[in-house]
Structure 1
Amino acid sequence: MKNTEIDTFGLLADYQSIMDAIGALYTEDHGYQTVVLDSLDKAEPLVWAATCAANRWESIESPGFGKGYLAADPFWRELLDGLFALRRDRGMIVVLIGHSEIIRFDDPSTVSYSRYDIRLHKRALAMVQDEADAILFINQDVTIQTEEQGFNKKRSRGEGGHQRWIYTEGRPAFVAKNRFDMPPKILFDRAHAFDELAKHFPGMDAPASVSPSEAAA
């Protein structure tokens, strides 16, 4: 591990390196209480590369008709099972970071609209969403102000953005959930964000005394 601001395995360039890092955390003696995978969407091409190597494909699209993404399922399953083994057997908190993208969502009960979703292929996304105890969406507080510009024209302007919130329940605009009875949103403060979240985690009733060591895979 490299000794930086937090202990890390460094930039892992292939799927096997990720699995080796998870294996080291599972089998070796250490005092880490948290493991962070940063990020899911950066790990996805490594999963695809491993899938292609196993099947001797040039790209994940080579077999056609979505078969490549289907073949990637066992690799995703192995990775997630490894991380959740750390939670189950080593008592570690597992944090999976994922960047968002704006997608079109076809809602059968109303008109289609845009929403934020995790930047993953839909098959991998479904696995992660099913397994996660909490999906937390962090966003800035933004309000829209409308200005008159004359000649019956108006201009909309975004304001705010000084605070960020952790959203714990899904809305039409984004995906979120939790199994810990959290409030719908929690103020994001870099210095105390973990303490605020930890109040709702089982077995962590006194977050002020919690200072978890972290290891990033």
Structure 2
Amino acid sequence: MAISINDLRRVQATQPPRVLIYGPPGMGKTTLASEFPAPVFLQVEDGTPGDLELASFGRLTSLDEVMDAIGALYTEEHDGQTLVIDSLDKLEPLIWAKVCQDNNWQSIETPGYGKGYVAADSYWRDLIEGANALRRDKGMGVAYIAHSTIETVNDPMTAAYSRFDIRLHKRAVGIFQDEVDAILFLNQDVTIKADDPKAKQGAGTRVRADGGGNRWIYAAPRPMFVAKNRYGIPDKLMYERGKGYAALAPHFPNTAAE
């Protein structure tokens, strides 16, 4: 059927959010995800906070198990409203193992020239499509969790500098940057103080990290970290345990804080 000007409609976002939460260890990524509505965790790593009780299939040790869990959520009745995958960087070796198994490779580097990582793209996309099917057909939100790493950026416009990035192969990072609606960086503010406040910082000056203990959700990109959002979330929100989702929810479509 041919497209006509009469087919024009006004549209807006109506589906639950797809977010990626990342940051250094111990910042509260899992805790923040647990605040989302009725979360169901697909855990591929140990590390459940001791004071949380999560709905989980237990630790999943292969990509096949992860996909089976997604299939169960799609085909069986349940009360879950948010799919949480914890964490992507622990899932990545399972994806590589599956790629190697299917291609009879000894390692992801075996085919050379980065071809193993290219082959992994379709496995990542299958995972994302499974999550998207839950979102599209079952009305579930999606929260991916990942750890951060520090990368050096060689910017032709300025001197090289370091930034926080998602701890995944660059091809996988690109896929998730395109796919999700928000990348939220969770971290603690740090200030640098000299031992002698009157001394000029430089050679021979001892400095130390300090901070007030506040944790923040960053939702807009900066040279020092990767972030984004399609929802108009403020660039920076304080993260108070138990109130993180409540701070984000007003910006999500058809969503209200509980």
- Fold conserved (TM > 0.5)? yes
Structure having the larger proportion of residues in strand: 1
Residue of 217, 242, 258 corresponding to 1:166 = 217
Shift of 1:6: 1.5
Write out aligned runs for 1:16-27 (5 A): 16-27=64-75
Secondary structure class of the residue paired with 1:157 = strand
Aligned to 1:199: 250
Distance 1:118 1:59 in 2: 22
Give 1:140's aligned residue. 188
> What is the 5 A alignment of 1:58-97?
58-97=106-145
State the shift of 1:161 in Å: 4.5
Q: Secondary structure at the match of 2:220?
A: coil
Alignment-derived partner of residue 13 in structure 1 = 61
1:183 corresponds to which letter in structure 2?
P
Q: How does 1:113-128 map to 2 (within 5 A)?
A: 113-128=161-176
| Aligned equivalents of 1:84, 1:111: Cα separation in 2 | 40
Equivalent position to 2:88, from 40, 44, 48:
40
Q: Which deviations, in whole Å up to 9, do the C-alpha atoms of 1:53-102 show, x marking residues without a partner?
A: 01000100011110110111111110011111111111111000010000
What is the alpha-carbon distance in structure 2 between the residues aligned to residue 70 and residue 153 of structure 1?
A: 47
Count of matched residue pairs = 206
Q: In the superposition, relative to structure 1, how do residues 161 and 81 fare at CA in structure 2: closer, same or farther (>3 Å)? A: farther
Cα deviation code 1:144-165 (max 9, x no counterpart): 1123398x84221211141100
The CA deviation at 1:142 is 1.2
The AA in structure 2 aligned to 1:92 is M
| Aligned partner letter, 1:188 | Y
Secondary structure of 1:98's match? strand
> Distance in 1 between the 2:119 and 2:212 partners?
41
1:213 alignment partner in structure 2: none
Q: For the aligned residues, what is the CA RMSD?
A: 1.9
Structure 2 gaps, min length 5: 1-39, 42-51
Q: State the match for 2:153 in structure 1.
A: 105
1:113-150 Cα distance to aligned partner (Å, 9 max, x none): 11100000011110011101000000101111123398
Q: Which runs of at least 4 in structure 1 moved beyond 3 Å after TM superposition?
A: none
Q: Deviations over 1:159-188 (max 9, x none)?
A: 114110000001000000000001111111
Three-state SS of the structure 2 residue aligned to 1:117 is: strand
> Which amino acid in 1 is paired with 2:254?
G
SS in 2 for 1:9: strand
TM-score when scaled to structure 2?
A: 0.76
Structure 1 stretches of 5 or more lacking a match? Answer: 211-217
SS at match of 2:59: coil
Q: Match of 1:199, SS?
A: helix
